[in-house]
Structure 1
Amino acid sequence: MNRRRVLAACGCVVGLAGCLGSDPPVAGERTAKDGDSTDGDSVARAGAFDLPIPEDELRRGAPKDAIPAITSPSFSTDWSGFDEVPVELEDSFEVVGVELDGISRAYPLAVLNWHEIVNDTFDGRPVVVTYCPLCGSAVVAERVVAGDTVYFGVSGLLWMSDLVMYDDRTNSLWSQVLATAIRGERTGDRLSLLPATISTWGEWKASHPETEVLVPPPVSGTIRGRQTRRYEVNPYTSYQQSSSIGIGYNEEVDERLHPKTSVVGITAGGVARAYPLDTVSSEGVVNDRVGDVPVVVAASADGSLVAYVRRVDGEAIEFERDGSRLVGGGSRWDLLTGRSLDGPHEGTTLSRANDRSPMFWFAWADFNPETEIYGR
């Protein structure tokens, strides 16, 4: 594997205001029941790493809670009507979309860039929504550890350039991408993952017309009480456009793709494969097989990458593209949700083939060093 040393430029470190903690100026009536699951071969298997992680592998990016996790989220249909929120929620804003227990919610990256963690509840079900701006990764999970509901906060530490969380019960440290405790009393414990999508607000609300959207603090409360940030500013713009990684501690990177290439990764049957956005977009739709699991990968016009298991009722379906829809098995399917809209499979929802969101290539490759790249 071709690797080289990569050090973040000083200007990039200064620009990572959110990371450093300072201010800059389940839908459908039924689900495809095919027995396919990639969870057992999940991206970033904890078993691939020796736990607990040595303390000297952790890097301090900010003081604990300097990036204040949201602990009392508030939701609305949009951001209008809130005097405390002078920012207009635009259709082009990226969001982490979650659909669970009949509830649809969107968490704008304009908020998550500054807070990284939202402790939420879906109809009594405790959920944590996380986003690491350095890795471009969203991970959503149940916030239940050993039977106890916990709150998660931002430790200010990084491991492999990824967000390290802590739980309020034991102060154990958790890798966001792994969704696993890497140091402390709960070391080795794993969170139960939930499906999530990164899309634009315009796409998400079109597919989920009844959706709610997270309203920024101070309307939503944080672990540090009343807080606010410049939500109209993306403090990671220069970082996202550069080849720099993290805040200067990554020494190696897999050169096969630009570090910030957006990829969706799938693991199954001992095989890990990354699907770059540009490749998927150019092909329109990708019918593939990872291990023994048949998958379909596609991207929306706005660049939202999705991956599904393309087996329904025991049969693998070949998909084609018809504008913004997928077509297969005599039915049309919503690309963003995987839900069949008509035909013999109407009401069926395809199972997710990926258990984490798309992320930057360097992060996927760091946690899956033996990964293949589709099309290469």
Structure 2
Amino acid sequence: MKTYWIKLPPRTRALGVFLATFVLAMLGFSITGGLEQVDLLFGIYIGGLTTYFLARWGTFATRVALILPGQELTTYEKFRKNPGRRRHGPAEPAEFIDPDEANEELLPDDRVIGVFHNKEAAAYPLAALGVREVSNEEYGDTPVVVTWSPVTYSARAFFAKVGDKDAVTLGAHTHTVFNSPAMPNNDGSTFIQFTGQAATGPLTGWSLNQIPVITTTWAAWEKAHPDTEVMSTEGGPEADVFENYYANDRNGIHSLAPKDKRLHGKDIVLGLDIKGDIKAFSYPGLIEKPLVEETLGGTPILVLQERSSATAVAFSRRIDGRTLNFKGQNKNPHRRSAESTASGEGERLDYEPWLIEDKQTGSSWRAITGECIEGELKGSQLKMLPAMTGFWFAWSRFYQDAPLFGAIGEYEESTPKR
């Protein structure tokens, strides 16, 4: 019965609620005495008011059929329209500049999304991509779409191909699922940014394959990729306009408090889905234990948190048929509170990359890139995994009941140390 109800058109459900409320009001008035004209008007008022507030809460929103990651049964989730007027990003196509020009636009601690694919590196400042939402690119001959959702704090890049179909070209969203943008394709399909699933249109049921991205500071990315291209902030805001939102308690545009209380709603996690084996690693937990070795989906993995750049990343520990184990090599200092935003305020130390060392050969590796820079394995590269950042209120809805490293109570919230 519930499935039948939510599959009805939104206006039909709204009319049903209005009529049911009106009839109940009339029954109540008739029990207390005879019906008068004022009772009819009051019944209409009660029915209208009830319907209005339920509409505001999304009760009558269109539903889309989804099979959530790690689940087997189809669920029908709200496909909600953005409230208020639509905000348009910069009218001009994005310009890409070299690092010297980028240093005139960006502060060392400004946050960027970094993509390294087909031996090409590009950085997308949150200030630039936050208002554009999506950038349709080509890395070599490979069509790639790079996306950012500040509402769910999710950076995603996808191969822009589905089977033998034409390349996908995504645009700015007008609807959301669990607060995640549903980005429209040219053919009328919409893809959920958080998971890459097509929720509506002719490609419904297909999913885009992810490629690895990281969210880090401009200083850290430039140090790792000195020849990178950078999306210019020209034509848009110079700073990330969503910084206040990141710091407040609001869980999305359509407020969505997490049902799963293992973390606070705005805690950030790094999630992995390897062959259906799913696990999330909380940033608070990784700050306290910044090097984690596990096996997930049959793959030996390494999850790292470079504290100075607030960068979490995941790699496979397998190199040329053997599995490596790692330990920290140099200091991995905590960030001070003044360094926790991209505002440019407060004193900062010069960025120095965190290095790790494998126990088998003693070779040195750069933590945020997985590149071996010294020792027997110099020149080797750990395979970066397509890990997913996101606020807990969104992750825990899409990846329900998935295992979690670093839940509240598993780590101590200590005062940042130098």
Structural RMSD (CA): 2.7
Structure 2 residue corresponding to 1:195, chosen from 187, 205, 212: 212
Give the AA of the match of 1:112: L
State the structure with more CA Rg.
2
- What is the CA deviation profile of residues 91-149 of structure 1, one whole-angstrom value per residue up to 9, with x for unaligned ones? 11111111112211000001111111011122232211000111100110122244312
| 1:66-86 deviation line (CA, Å, top 9, x unaligned) | 44488843211147499xxxx
Residue aligning to 1:337: 369
Which residue of structure 1 lines up, in the alignment, with residue 323 of structure 2?
Answer: 316
TM-score (norm: length of structure 1): 0.76
In 2: Cα distance, 1:194 partner to 1:345 partner: 25
The one-letter amino acid of 2:251's match is I
1:105 and 2:105 equivalent?
no
| Offset of residue 152 of structure 1 | 0.9
Q: How does 1:184-223 map to 2 (within 5 A)?
A: 184-217=201-234
- TM-score, normalised by the number of residues in structure 2: 0.69
Q: How does 1:289-300 map to 2 (within 5 A)?
A: 289-300=295-306
Q: Is the 8 A contact 1:294 1:309 kept in 2?
A: yes
Q: Is 1:69–1:116's contact at 8 Å kept on the other side of the alignment?
A: no
Partners of 2:328 and 2:133 lie apart in 1 by 34
Q: Distance in 1 between matches of 2:98 and 2:291?
A: 32
Query: Equivalent of 2:97, from 71, 76, 87?
Result: 76
Aligned length: 314
Residue 120 of structure 1 pairs with residue 137 of structure 2? yes
2:80 matched residue in structure 1: 59
Shift of 1:249: 4.4
SS at match of 1:348: coil
User: Structure 1 91/205 Cα, relative in aligned 2: closer, same or farther at 3 Å?
Assistant: same
User: Which has the larger strand fraction?
Assistant: 1
What secondary structure is seen at the aligned counterpart in 2 of 1:107?
strand
Could you tell me how far 1:47 is from its partner in structure 2? 6.3
Where do 1:144-159 residues align within 5 Å? 144-145=161-162, 146-159=164-177
Question: How far 1:346 moved relative to its partner?
Answer: 2.2
2:178, 2:131 → 1: CA distance? 20
Unpaired runs of 5+ residues, structure 1, are 1-42, 218-227
Say whether the 8 Å CA contact 2:133–2:172 is kept in structure 1.
Answer: yes
Q: Deviations over 1:256-306 (max 9, x none)?
A: 111111211123465422212222222231122235322111111211001
For 1:73 and 1:291, the matched residues in 2 are separated by 38
Which gives a bigger RCO, structure 1 or 2 (Cα 8 Å, sep 6+)?
Answer: 1
- Select which of 233, 239, 242 maps to 1:236: 242
* Pair 1:344–1:299, CA change in 2 (3 A): same
The one-letter amino acid of 2:69's match is R
Q: 3-state DSSP class of the match of 1:281? A: helix
Deviation string, structure 1 residues 148-206 (Cα, Å, up to 9, x no partner): 123210121111110110111x1111101111211111101221221111111100010
1:165 aligned onto 2:193: no
Pairwise mapping of residues 257-296 of structure 1 onto structure 2 (< 5 A)? Answer: 257-268=263-274, 270-296=276-302
